[in-house]
């Protein structure tokens, strides 16, 4: 048996997330069935984690096992992309790994990016790729509030009700917020995240930037560990799984 790591890029707009579902197109289902068809054996792919419907990825990582050794990965990538590109999925890399490698459990850190378009005019090119907010946001306040999120904390406030993580305590290694033209870009780095954590954090930070919440209110909501006090999560279409490091 041989194990292979794959890196997947996808536009999540018309996909129902990563994990297989019975009736809807998902990344896992489409990639898995296409690899199985080309390799002529039943293949199961294991992802580094789930992404919800509408979420995009530049560098989702997964692995699969095959009875065959793949000598020409370039040829396989071309064949896979011939079928997958119509669903806006691309295989970027295939690399042979040791059997001890696991796309989910071997990951040291995951990096997510969230993009807000903050301008008067609504987007055309970036439609379904950013969270469009017309009212000007206070970037200084957003950055001050974000400092409260760094480090090891109980992020239960930002945990979705359908998240089955053993603990809501996570370590947010790094958070960077920068402005590029009219876009505000959030970078979050952690070994793992709770379901909806990134979108919920962004939703709360935007409340601060809109001056709906004070910095003190933001801090109190974080410390409360009560999901009902959380701001509405940011829309899925502004979120990107940027990279998984091993």
Active site residue 52: yes
Task: Say how far apart CA 192 and CA 172 lie, in whole Å.
Answer: 9
Q: Residue 217: name the closest of 150, 148, 125 by CA.
A: 148
Q: Tell me if residue 96 falls in helix, strand or coil.
A: strand
Burial-class residue 213 by CB neighbours within 10 Å (0-12, 13-18, 19+).
buried
Judge contact between 55 and 239, C-beta under 8 A: yes
Among 15, 192, 22, 163, which residue's Cα sits nearest to residue 88? Answer: 15
Catalytic residue among 52, 65, 138, 154: 52
3-state secondary structure of 100: coil
Please give the positions annotated as active site.
Answer: 52
């Amino acid at each position: 048996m041989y194990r292979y790591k794959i890196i997947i890029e996808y536009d999540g707009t018309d996909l129902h997330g990563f994990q297989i579902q019975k009736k809807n197109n998902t990344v896992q289902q489409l990639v898995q069935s296409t690899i199985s068809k080309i390799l002529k054996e039943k293949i199961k792919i294991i992802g580094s984690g789930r992404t919800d419907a509408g979420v995009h990825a530049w560098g989702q990582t997964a692995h699969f096992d095959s009875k065959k050794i793949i000598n020409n990965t370039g040829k396989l990538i071309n064949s896979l992309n011939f079928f997958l590109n119509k669903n806006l999925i691309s295989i970027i890399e295939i690399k042979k790994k040791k059997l001890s490698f696991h796309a989910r459990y071997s990951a040291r850190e995951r990096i997510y990016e969230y993009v807000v378009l903050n301008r008067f005019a609504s987007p055309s090119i970036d439609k379904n790729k950013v969270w469009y907010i017309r009212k000007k946001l206070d970037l200084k306040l957003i950055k001050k509030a974000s400092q409260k999120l760094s480090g090891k904390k109980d992020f239960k406030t930002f945990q979705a009700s359908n998240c089955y993580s053993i603990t809501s305590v996570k370590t947010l290694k790094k958070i960077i917020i920068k402005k590029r033209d009219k876009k505000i870009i959030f970078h979050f780095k952690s070994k793992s995240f709770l379901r909806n954590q990134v979108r919920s954090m962004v939703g709360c930070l935007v409340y601060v930037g809109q001056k709906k919440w004070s910095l003190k209110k933001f801090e109190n909501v974080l410390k409360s560990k009560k999901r009902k006090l959380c701001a509405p999560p940011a829309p899925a279409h502004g979120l990107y799984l940027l990279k998984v490091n091993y």
